[in-house]
Amino acid sequence: MTLPHKVLALHETMTMEAAFDGRPANLFTLTNEAGMTATFMDIGATWLSCTVPVDGDAREVLLGCANMTDHLKQSAYFGATVGRYANRIAGGQFTNDGKTFHVSTNQAGNTLHGGPEGFDQRRWALDSRTDSKLAFCLFSQDGDQGFPGNLEAKVTFELTEDNTVAISYQANCDKPCPVNFTNHAYFNLVGEASGEDCLGHELTISADRFVPTSDVGIPTGELKSVAQTGFDFRKGKTIAQDLRLDPEQVLVGGYDHALLLKPEVCDGISDCVKVISPDQKITMMVQTTKPAVQLYTGNFLSGTKGTSGEYRIHQGFCLETEYLPDAPNHPEWPGDSILRPNQTYAHYTGYRFIF
C-alpha cells in the first residue's frame, strides 16, 4: 500500500537530526490489508505512529513528536519501550534473596521507568523485519542503572490482519532482577491533530482493585476495591465522569494509577480494556498477560511540544500493561516481578482497533 502522507513526512522529519549517539534514527512502518499503519523507531524501540482509516482519511491516534529535537526534549515517554522496570520503585531500592540493591533515581528520590537512562533512551538493534512484523533487541549490562545481571531483551511488534498492534516481550538475565516492560503509548482516538482532549472517551476496564499512591506515585501498600470510587470502570463510562473525584486522584491531578485486572482476563486473548472514541468511529480493545494496567490521563502533558502543536493537559491517555508499581518491595502482591536466571520473561499486549 502507499503510505499516508503524514507517515511519509514523519520518516523524513524524524531523521533530519541525529539522535543522542550522533546518528539518525531508523524508522520502520508496518501495514495491513485494511489500510492501517504502525510506525516504530530504533531509538527507545518507540511506537511513533498509528494511523487508522476513518472516512477516507488516515487518522493518527498516537501522540508524539515529529522531529528528533522535540523527541529528545520531551519527558512523557511517548510510545517508548520502558524498562528495566516500568513505573516506580520506592526510594530506588529493593531487597531480593536477603540482599538490598540500590538503583538510580530520577523522580522525587524514586526510580521511574528504569532510571535516568532507561531503555527509552537506548538505540535498540533491529533483529528482524517483514512487512507486518519487526523485532528489536537490546543488551543491558550487569549494574546498568544499578540493576543486577546481564539482561538480553527483545520486543516484537506486529500489525495483524485483524488490526491488532501486537507487542511481545522477551528477556533473560543471569542474576535475579526485577523486570517489567511496557509500552508508553498515548492514545487519542479522535485524532492527534483534533485538538480535543481524551476525557470524552468511554472506557471499560475489567478490574476490581486499584493501587492508591502518594503524590509522587509510590503505593501506600494497600490494594483497594474500586467499588464506590472513581476507579470503577467495570461497566464503562467516560474518563471525564469521575475525574478527580477521589482523594487519590486529587493528589496527582487525575488518573495515574494501576488497576489490578481480573485474573481471568490476563490470558493474552481476552479483552481486558475497551475504549470507544467520542465520535464512536474507533473502538480499541486491549489484551495482555500482565496482571495490571496503569491508566494515565496525561495530567502533566501541558506545554509538551507534539506533532500538531503544543499539547494540553489530558490530550491523551495511556494504558500501560505491567506488574504493579513498586512490586519488588511487595512480594505478597499478584505477579512475580523478579526474573531469575533459569526463567524467560515472556509477556504479550495487544491493542486491537475496530473501525
256 is in an annotated binding site: yes
Residues with Cβ < 8 Å from 64, sequence gap 6 or more? Answer: 48, 49, 71, 78, 79, 186, 192, 306, 307
185 is in an annotated binding site: yes
84 is in an annotated binding site: no
Residue 184 annotated as catalytic: yes
Count CA atoms closer than 13 A to 8's CA, side-chain side: 5
Radius of gyration of the chain (CA): 19
188 is in an annotated binding site: no
Q: Which residues pair with 54 in a beta bridge?
A: 57
184 is in an annotated binding site: yes
Residues with Cβ < 8 Å from 226, sequence gap 6 or more? Answer: 207, 208, 209, 210, 232, 233, 234, 259
- What DSSP element (H or E) covers 7? helix 5-13
Question: Grid coordinates in use for 238?
Answer: 467516560
Would the CA dihedral through 284, 75, 242, 260 be positive or negative?
positive
9 phi, psi to nearest 5 deg: -65, -40
Residue 17 annotated as catalytic: no
* d(C-alpha 202, C-alpha 192), whole Å: 17
CB 206 within 8 A of CB 213: no
* d(C-alpha 162, C-alpha 81), whole Å: 23
Q: Which of 320, 322, 330, 347 is catalytic?
A: 320
CB 66 within 8 A of CB 53: no
Q: Which of 113, 184, 330, 347 is catalytic?
A: 184
If you write DSSP's letter for every residue of 105-143 in order, what string do you get? --BTTBEETTSTT-GGGSBPEEEEE-SSEEEEEEEE-TT
97 is in an annotated binding site: no
Q: Which residues are annotated as a binding site for beta-D-galactose?
A: 87-88, 184-186, 256
The residues assigned a catalytic role are 184, 320
Residues tagged in the binding site annotation: 87-88, 184-186, 256
